[in-house]
Chain A
């Protein structure tokens, strides 16, 4: 366990050194500009638009980090051959793989937490009261990001970082179009039902993690729904991490 934590801590330090958290500067600039300008431009919609922009930025920046850092976590270590001396030490492949995942998950947690604080401060600065309800959208976003990291790491165990990024983007985009996949027979009736249903079942539905709209309009996000989203997210993450582990363990590095 301590070895896993050591890998995770090292991964976090590595992402900080790679200036991943610099995206927070962009976020700060974005929120400051939005706070200053939206009151003039939006006509009474500034609070809603501030929340939209803040939450969308969390989702977008987080997804980009999850894909582009996630795909490099394993593949770069393989390409740079820095993995070999690590595995020669008393460190299992599983500890290495899960440690990397935990490290990037912690980076994303820090990123999302700072962004949430930034959004709350912007709302305060513009005379609005940031509600705890914001977390109803932030938490599912974080869960979705962890699933993206899991996919990025799964693909990076077998391919280059670039190809893994392309594959991960494909899964994320398809997952965000889950409703289109489910209803594809309405526009393409020739598609066999088993294909549409099969694809819908196999693809992770990233729409499940999207409560931005509800929170921006002040609608409640029921705890029961969040609980099921948590179960859905955790199960998916566990499956993808297991597949990644199997793939990583079976890879011959000689």
Chain B
């Protein structure tokens, strides 16, 4: 009898990983859990965890990071629909979870396929954060940055950066950045300073990588603009635009690479002489 049971066990145990492998093969090893605890409102979720709201917020936040990472890396159709509700539940359960506002806003604001491509929602998340944590200059700084970087509203961005600068412990450069935004109406140099600040402030991880990529995009845009100016110079010297970008090299106007920061060749319009980041490059972003 015992040996029969042992035999049965020997047969059954491998059946578990085997059946799991079959399920994974059919449904995909990574399956986005669309139901994610079928999202109640944050207030309602809060009522289910009396005394344990903070740990529930942590769990929801971990789930948010997992959901975002899962969608970004594995999902065929990146949708991010649950991102905002998950962030809201996390921050309703723990209104002081500053990282949830800051990272959540990035997740929401970055254009697809990097993020959800919904910068207005990202800004709304930061606005909620500013209301809940009125003493946090970093949240206001991010709100100012996002208004400029994603909505291109330099006036509002400058006003918010000035508010941030007035808070205790705020970085000294916030006021000068706000003044620059007001004076110049915003330019690439202001964007560079903002992304550089985000890069410097962030610890290793998604935000730092995102800021690094944004800085590389700005470098690529600068290089593209410089090449466009050289194409105009070529036209002034030769009376025609170059047919191909490498003609700039032959003419001795440029001896650097003709690729962007991702080593992808720049696009070039021989009719207008405009040099641009190719759509196939990871550096490309919608205008």
Q: Interface residue count for B (Cβ, 8 Å)?
A: 22
Beta-carbon contact of B50 and A42 below 8 Å: no
Separation of A109 and B94 alpha carbons in the complex (Å)? 29
Beta-carbon contact of B55 and A43 below 8 Å: no
Digitize B46-62: 1 where CB-to-A-CB distance is under 8 Å, 0 elsewhere. 01001111110110011
Stretch of B95-103, B147-155, B241-249 at the chain-chain interface: B95-103
**Given the interface contacts A49-B58, A53-B55, A53-B58, does A43 sit within 8 Å of B99 by beta carbon?**
yes
Instruction: State which residues 46-93 of B face A: CB under 8 Å.
Output: 47, 50-55, 57-58, 61-62, 65-66
> Apart from A41-B62, A213-B96, what 13 extra A-B contacts exist at CB < 8 Å?
A42-B58, A43-B205, A43-B207, A45-B61, A49-B58, A52-B54, A53-B55, A56-B52, A56-B55, A59-B51, A212-B51, A213-B54, A217-B96
Interface CB pairs A-B, < 8 A, 24: A41-B62, A42-B58, A43-B205, A44-B99, A45-B61, A45-B99, A48-B58, A49-B62, A52-B54, A53-B55, A53-B58, A56-B52, A59-B51, A59-B52, A176-B51, A177-B50, A180-B47, A206-B51, A207-B50, A212-B54, A213-B53, A213-B54, A213-B94, A213-B96
Instruction: State which residues 175-210 of B face A: CB under 8 Å.
Output: 203, 205-207
Interface SS majority for chain A = helix
Q: Which B residues lie within 8 Å of A212 (CB)?
A: 51, 54
Q: Which A residues lie within 8 Å of B47 (CB)?
A: 177, 180
B residues bordering A, Cβ < 8 Å?
A: 47, 50-55, 57-58, 61-62, 65-66, 94, 96-97, 99, 103, 203, 205-207
Separation of A91 and B97 alpha carbons in the complex (Å)? 54
Beta-carbon contact of A52 and B55 below 8 Å: yes
A60 on interface, CB distance cutoff 8 Å:
yes
A210 on interface, CB distance cutoff 8 Å:
yes
Beta-carbon contact of B103 and A43 below 8 Å: yes
Q: Which A residues lie within 8 Å of B57 (CB)?
A: 52
Beta-carbon contact of B51 and A207 below 8 Å: yes
Interchain nearest-CB distance for B60 vs A (Å) = 11
Beta-carbon contact of A42 and B54 below 8 Å: no
Beta-carbon contact of A173 and B205 below 8 Å: no
Interchain nearest-CB distance for B46 vs A (Å) = 11
Beta-carbon contact of B50 and A52 below 8 Å: no
Digitize A192-215: 1 where CB-to-B-CB distance is under 8 Å, 0 elsewhere. 000000000000001100101100
Separation of A212 and B56 alpha carbons in the complex (Å)? 13
Separation of A213 and B52 alpha carbons in the complex (Å)? 9
Separation of A213 and B96 alpha carbons in the complex (Å)? 9
Question: Which B residue sits closest to A216, measured CB to CB?
Answer: B54
Separation of A206 and B50 alpha carbons in the complex (Å)? 10
Leading 4 A-B pairs by shortest Cβ distance: A176-B50, A56-B55, A49-B58, A52-B55
Q: Which B residues lie within 8 Å of A42 (CB)?
A: 58, 61-62, 65
Partner of B203, one of A41, A44, A207, A216: A44
Q: Which B residues lie within 8 Å of A180 (CB)?
A: 47
Beta-carbon contact of A43 and B50 below 8 Å: no
Chain B CB within 10 Å, residue with most, of A43, A49, A212 = A43
Q: Which B residues lie within 8 Å of A59 (CB)?
A: 51-52
Q: Which B residues lie within 8 Å of A207 (CB)?
A: 50-51
Q: Which A residues lie within 8 Å of B53 (CB)?
A: 213
Separation of A18 and B99 alpha carbons in the complex (Å)? 43
Interchain nearest-CB distance for B189 vs A (Å) = 29
Q: Which A residues lie within 8 Å of B54 (CB)?
A: 52, 56, 212-213, 216
Q: Which A residues lie within 8 Å of B50 (CB)?
A: 173, 176-177, 207
Q: Which A residues lie within 8 Å of B203 (CB)?
A: 44
Q: Which B residues lie within 8 Å of A210 (CB)?
A: 51
Separation of A206 and B52 alpha carbons in the complex (Å)? 12
Beta-carbon contact of B66 and A60 below 8 Å: no
Separation of A173 and B54 alpha carbons in the complex (Å)? 17
Interchain nearest-CB distance for A138 vs B (Å) = 14
Question: Which A residue sits closest to B53, measured CB to CB?
Answer: A213
Separation of A45 and B91 alpha carbons in the complex (Å)? 14
Q: Which A residues lie within 8 Å of B51 (CB)?
A: 59, 176, 206-207, 210, 212
Separation of A40 and B60 alpha carbons in the complex (Å)? 15
Instruction: State which residues 25-78 of A face B: CB under 8 Å.
Output: 41-45, 48-49, 52-53, 56, 59-60
Interchain nearest-CB distance for A30 vs B (Å) = 11
Beta-carbon contact of A43 and B65 below 8 Å: yes
